[in-house]
Amino acid sequence: MIFLYSFLFCGFVCLIGQLILDNTKLTPGHVTSIFVVTGAFLDSFGLYDKFIKWFGAGTLVPITSFGHSLIHGALDKANETGLLGLLGGMFSLTSTGIVAAIVFGFILTLIFKPKD
Amino acid sequence: MLFFKLIKKFGINYQTFFILILVIKMDKESYKQMTSKIVPQENKLKNGIIAFVVGGLVGLLGQIIVFVLENNFNVPHKDATSIMIVILIFIASLCTALGFFDNLVSKAKAGLIVPITGFAHAMTSSMIDYKKEGLVTGIGANAFKLTGSVILYGVVSAYVFGIIRYLFFGG
């Protein structure tokens, strides 16, 4: 059943993104930025954690989970070490994704030629 | 008369002068009216359904990867989600480098932009596009050209919301 919920949640987020793209003049860059801020906003009330419980790993795939894990790591560290932890723990959960994107992107760029 | 002397001085003949006046006269409104007949109307319903199905399938793929890793390889849940994200990013980067991810995006639209695959695609494509300009000034300087806004606004908003929650709601 969690497979269906993952499908529905991720599809719904993408549907909202497509509606924004079709009905306004915003570019994909705007849409992804909006979704990251939305994810951070939803997690500041602990709402996104409930989504993860209800809908499974489908909630970790959209870019909203990027904002969620940014604020989640920051708050976890802040609870341990005080206000400085907000700065120190910001990337503690998202570094996997960012570093993977940078490293894979760079290696593949060196290997493959640009397609004209 | 001074006006005509100026025109002669800059070497503009009368034909181009009238074309210039026509261009200036054609304001934005009439331009919109003219192009609205030519630009094809996109089917919003169809786009929405495609984005929903493709995005949903990406989410389903993520859930399946996590499920298989947890049950068949005995990976803890937290590591399984990280591995799932790495796998999706690798697939998207590879497809971008091979050159057929752009076609997929133009068909699936937001279904592939909004998931984490869009993040990897934006980063790899901006690196590959500027490969000709060298390692540092090309790849290095332009790596975050498209994804920079996502990281910037993510960090700033997370910091602001984090401070609000830490100070007023006690973490």
Confirm whether A116 is domain-assigned: no
**A18 burial type by CB count under 10 A (0-12 exposed, 13-18 middle, 19+ buried):** buried
Longest dimension (CA), chain B: 89
Q: A105 or A82: whose pLDDT is higher?
A: A105
Tokens representing B103 are 């076609």
pTM of the model: 0.82
Q: Which domain holds residue B97?
A: 54-168
Instruction: Single out the residue of A91, A70, A88, A68 nearest to residue A78, CA to CA.
Output: A88
Whether B8 is in a domain gets the answer: yes
Q: Would the CB atoms of B124 and A67 count as touching at under 8 Å?
A: no
Which residues of B fall within a CB distance of 8 Å from A18?
A: 47-48, 50-52, 109-111
Q: What is the pLDDT of residues B25-39, one digit of tens each?
A: 666 677 777 777 676
pLDDT of residue B6: 59
Residues B25 and B87 in one domain: no
- Number of CB pairs < 8 Å for A and B? 250
DSSP, res A62: B
For residue B41, give the chain A residue with the closest CA. Answer: A22
Q: Looking at the domain assignment, is residue B81 inside a domain?
A: yes
pLDDT in tens, B70-122: 999 888 988 898 999 999 999 999 998 988 888 888 888 888 888 999 899 99
Q: Which of A22, A96, A101 sits opposite B119 (nearest CB)?
A: A101
pLDDT band (50, 70, 90) for residue B44: confident
CA distance A53 to A38: 18
Tell me if B157 sits within 8 A of A40, measured CB to CB: yes
Range of the domain at A86: 2-111
Q: How far apart are CA A65 and CA B85, in angstroms?
A: 11
- Domain assignment present for residue A33? The answer is yes
User: How many helical (H) and strand (E) elements, i.e. helices and strands, does chain A have?
Assistant: 6, 0
| Residue B171 vs residue A19, higher pLDDT | A19
| Contact state of B99 with A8 under an 8 Å Cβ cutoff | no
Count: domains in chain B:
2
For residues A15 and B58, give the distance between their C-alpha atoms in angstroms, rounded to a whole number.
Answer: 13
Residues B117-164 pLDDT 10s: 989 999 999 998 888 888 889 888 888 988 999 999 999 999 999 888
The CA radius of gyration of chain A, in Å to the nearest whole number, is 17
B7 shares a domain with B70: no
Task: Give a yes or no: residue B94 inside a domain.
Answer: yes
Question: pLDDT averaged over chain B?
Answer: 83
- Are both B62 and B131 inside the same structural domain? yes
Residue B107 within a domain: yes
**Under an 8 A CB cutoff, do A36 and B150 touch?**
yes
What total number of domains does chain A contain? 1
Q: What is the DSSP string of A14-60?
A: HHHHHHHHHHSS--HHHHHHHHHHHHHHHHTTTHHHHHHHHHGGGGT
Confidence class for position A107, pLDDT limits 50, 70, 90: very high
Q: Are residues B8 and B59 in the same domain?
A: no
pLDDT tens-digit map of A25-77: 888 889 999 999 999 998 888 888 888 888 888 888 999 988 989 998 888 88
Please state whether A110 falls in left (phi above 0), alpha (psi between -120 and 50) or beta.
Answer: alpha
Domain-embedded: residue B31: yes
Kindly indicate the confidence band of residue B3, based on its pLDDT and cuts at 50, 70 and 90: low
Token readout for A82 is: 């005080």
Q: What are A62's strand-pairing partners?
A: B115
pLDDT at B21: 62
Same domain, residue pair B147 and B120: yes
A6 vs A56: CA distance, rounded Å: 6
Read off the amino acid at residue A95: S
More confidently predicted of B13 and A12: A12
Calculate the CA B54 to chain-centre distance: 17
Does residue B16 sit in the same domain as residue B64?
Answer: no
Residue B18 in any domain: the answer is: yes
Distance CA A8, CA A5 (A): 5
Q: Six-digit token pair at B135?
A: 């390692």
CB atoms within 10 A of CB A4: 14
Q: Are B154 and B80 within one domain?
A: yes
Q: Are B6 and B71 in the same domain?
A: no
Confirm whether A26 is domain-assigned: yes
Q: Do B85 and B160 fall into the same domain?
A: yes
Give the whole-angstrom CA distance, residue A66 versus residue A73.
11
- Interface touch B155/A70, C-beta < 8 Å: yes
